[in-house]
């Protein structure tokens, strides 16, 4: 750590709690250097807060200067960043434990497979004891109530699936790596399926609809709204085939996961920690990063507005966040930015976890009020550029941040959060507390027991293949397969069958009002529908990501 420091500039930490509101800091003023005291005063909150650790100053740890983050401010989003091996995962674990203890549910994306230990008590030892003593932590081994999930049931966990319809054309285009023109065409296909009541549950449903719309019988269906070229349809079909060949069909289907499960609390009032085990699919980054965005979009779609509450409804940790933004279209990034901005008012806090702030687009980064930056490396010119860019994202500070960030040890970080008044706190180099749960994965047998004994396992474990678009189109063609669309019944009979399905779907929607229907009359919603264009403009139950209302 650097010994270099300067007198804090006027206004550093402005808006933080005054010294008079923190008697525990004032009483120890003589024991702390003046500059360290000013930093500590910025973290002396009067309301409920999570304890991150103790202030680092001039190479030493000051346990009387505690660094905390106000609980109500955790829905203002955050960033946990740092090079590999600097302790980001343990920071997530530390925050998750304390949120759970305060009754706040937590979602953790476990890409490396080492977060399952959050459910078991930690193991005492010399290192843990020494760290606890350094930061004035009363360490006690505790586990959290936890549920374990796996995408499509690949890996150990309760299967998480989504239907093609609810996933929507925007997110699916990201997974299939379609270009903007192909994405618009996919939106038209979803539009047609929506209006005709053809439910797209799994990949074979989507293939069947695409095949119909490019057949002699169906190619006139979209003429009035732009049509679907044979070449674009071919690209979409080939992408779907390749996607399925990689074993990804299991992620789409029913029973679809109800994201409301993530908002549960345990019987003792602690928040449930939901761990999505992604180690088995970490070689499919486009898929799992987009699936995480679907979870957020679905929550955004369903949750009511709550404004500023005394605690979040859920804090969502989005690991390997850079994968979400890689090769993303401008429209996709715009939808992410809008979702992150608006979901705060629904009580959900989002923490992006990645290596450097530059991995996150500026429009998203600007919404992340809480920052925990672990060490960065500067071995190459690119590393040095990333380091300089990271320093520029912090408020003015008493530290030489370039030197500090390259000298931090494992379990140390530079912190700035939002105070209870919503103003940034002073930058604080921090030695972080030790998690009280197990710092490592659960034993495989223990994890399997936790999964199969869950009350949710029976609800989601077995896949269901009910009647949907594939079956209806097949029935309309006299039972022929999806690629035999040119045979069977004539175009009028097919359209009649499809139209009947649309009437059936319309009756279902009328019988199942949702929160979305309460806002479709608003000016903002109408403006959004106009901007989206013909491909999904009529689907008034679709969100900014094109995700649709689902049947629970």
Average pLDDT over residues 138-147: 96
Handedness of CA 165, 171, 176, 181 (dihedral sign): positive
Rounded Cα distance, 298 and 26, in Å: 46
CA atoms within 13 A on the CB side of 170: 23
Task: Annotate 306-327 with three-state secondary structure.
Answer: CCCCCCCCEEEEECCCHHHHCC
pLDDT band of residue 515 (cuts 50, 70, 90) is very low
Half-sphere exposure of 451 (CA within 13 A, CB side): 24
Run of H or E residues at 391? helix 381-392
Q: 549: pLDDT confidence band, cut at 50, 70 and 90?
A: low
Q: What are phi and psi of 80, to 5 degrees?
A: -115, 115
- pLDDT for residue 259: 94
pLDDT in tens, 182-219: 999 999 999 999 988 899 999 999 999 999 998 888 87
Check residue 350 and give its pLDDT. Answer: 95
pLDDT of residue 322: 87
Dihedrals phi, psi of 158, to nearest 5 degrees: -65, 130
Percentage of the chain with pLDDT > 90?
A: 54
Per-residue pLDDT at 509:
44
On the question of pLDDT at 528 being above 90, the answer is no
In this predicted structure, what is the pLDDT of residue 28?
52
Nearest to 427 by CA among 469, 391, 479: 391
Query: Which pTM value belongs to this model?
Result: 0.81
209 with 200: CB under 8 angstroms?
Answer: yes
Mean pLDDT of 530-551: 46
Q: Does residue 434 register a pLDDT over 70?
A: yes
What's the rounded mean pLDDT across residues 29-47? 83
Cα 396 to Cα 172: distance, rounded to the nearest angstrom: 42
Stretch 490-499: mean pLDDT, rounded? 47
Predicted confidence at residue 159, as pLDDT, reads 95
Q: For residues 383 and 295, what is the distance between their CA atoms, to the nearest angstrom?
A: 32
Q: What is the pLDDT of residue 112?
A: 87
More confident residue, 73 or 34: 73
Query: What span, in angstroms and rounded, lies between the C-alpha atoms of 15 and 318?
Result: 29
Q: pLDDT of 249-295, one tens digit each? A: 889 999 999 999 999 999 999 999 999 999 888 888 878 888 988 99
Q: Distance (Å, rounded) from C-alpha 168 to C-alpha 162?
A: 10
Q: Of 222-226, 239-243, 537-541, give the lowest mean pLDDT range.
A: 537-541
For 228, other C-beta atoms within 10 Å of its C-beta total 22
> Is pLDDT of 15 > 80?
no
Position 31 scores a pLDDT of 66
| Tokens describing residue 169 | 């054309």
Strand partners for 62: 55
Q: Nearest to residue 398, comparing CAs of 1, 12, 11?
A: 12
Question: Which is more confidently placed, 71 or 220?
Answer: 71
Q: Is 226 left (phi over 0), alpha (psi -120 to 50) or beta?
A: left
The pLDDT of residue 479 is 53
Q: Would you state the pLDDT for residue 450?
A: 95
> For 478, phi and psi rounded to 5 degrees?
75, 30
What digits encode the pLDDT tens for the residues 405-425?
999 999 999 999 999 999 999
DSSP secondary structure letters along 150-196 = EETT-SSSEEE-B-HHHHHHHHHHHHHT--HHHHHHHHHHHHHHHHT
CB 190 within 8 A of CB 456: no
Give kind and range of the element (H or E) at residue 390.
helix 381-392
pLDDT (tens digit per residue) in 332-350: 888 889 889 999 999 999 9
């Amino acid at each position: 750590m650097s010994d270099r420091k300067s007198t804090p500039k006027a206004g550093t930490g402005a808006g933080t709690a005054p010294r008079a509101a923190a008697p525990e800091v004032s009483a120890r003023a003589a024991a702390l250097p003046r500059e360290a005291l000013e930093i500590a005063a910025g973290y002396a909150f009067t309301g409920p807060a999570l304890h991150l650790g103790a202030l680092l100053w001039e190479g030493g740890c000051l346990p009387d200067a505690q660094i905390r983050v106000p609980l109500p401010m955790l829905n203002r989003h955050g960033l946990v960043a740092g090079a590999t091996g600097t302790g980001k995962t343990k920071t997530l674990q530390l925050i998750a434990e304390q949120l759970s203890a305060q009754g706040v549910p937590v979602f953790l994306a476990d890409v490396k497979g080492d977060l399952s230990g959050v459910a078991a008590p930690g193991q005492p030892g010399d290192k843990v004891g020494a760290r606890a003593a350094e930061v004035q932590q009363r360490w006690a081994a505790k586990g959290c109530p936890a549920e374990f999930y796996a995408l499509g049931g690949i890996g150990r966990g309760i299967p998480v699936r989504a239907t093609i319809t609810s996933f929507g054309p925007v997110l699916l285009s990201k997974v299939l790596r379609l270009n903007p023109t192909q994405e618009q065409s996919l939106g038209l296909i979803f539009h047609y399926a929506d209006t005709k009541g053809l439910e797209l549950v799994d990949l074979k449903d989507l293939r069947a609809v695409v095949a119909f719309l490019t057949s002699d019988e169906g190619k006139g269906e979209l003429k009035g709204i732009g049509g679907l070229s044979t070449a674009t349809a071919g690209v979409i079909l080939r992408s779907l085939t390749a996607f399925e060949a990689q074993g990804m069909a299991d992620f789409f289907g029913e029973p679809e996961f109800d994201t409301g499960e993530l908002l549960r609390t345990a019987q003792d009032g602690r928040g449930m920690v939901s761990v999505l085990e992604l180690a088995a699919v970490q070689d499919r980054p486009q898929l799992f990063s987009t699936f995480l965005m679907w979870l957020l979009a679905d929550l955004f779609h369903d949750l009511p507005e709550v404004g500023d509450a005394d605690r979040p409804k859920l804090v969502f940790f989005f690991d390997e966040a850079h994968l979400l933004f890689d090769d993303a279209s401008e429209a996709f990034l715009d939808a992410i930015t809008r979702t992150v901005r608006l979901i705060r008012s629904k009580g959900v806090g989002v923490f992006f976890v990645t290596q450097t702030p530059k991995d996150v687009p500026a429009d998203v980064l600007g919404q992340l009020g809480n920052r925990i930056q672990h060490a960065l490396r500067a071995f190459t010119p690119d590393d040095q550029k990333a380091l300089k860019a990271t320093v520029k994202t912090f408020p003015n500070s008493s530290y030489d941040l370039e030197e500090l960030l390259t000298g931090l040890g494992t379990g140390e970080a530079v912190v700035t959060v939002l105070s209870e008044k919503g103003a940034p706190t002073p930058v604080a180099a921090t030695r972080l507390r030790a998690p009280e749960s197990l710092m490592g994965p659960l034993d495989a047998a223990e994890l399997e027991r936790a999964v199969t004994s869950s009350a949710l396992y029976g609800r989601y474990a077995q896949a269901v293949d009910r009647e949907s678009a594939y079956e209806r189109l097949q029935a309309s063609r006299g039972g022929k397969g999806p690629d035999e669309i040119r045979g069977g019944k004539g175009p009028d009979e097919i359209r009649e069958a499809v139209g009947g399905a649309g009437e059936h779907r319309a009756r279902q929607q009328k019988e199942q009002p949702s929160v979305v229907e309460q806002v479709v009359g608003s000016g903002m919603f109408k403006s959004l529908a106009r901007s989206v264009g013909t491909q999904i403009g009529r689907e008034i139950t679709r969100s900014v990501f094109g995700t649709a209302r689902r049947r629970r």
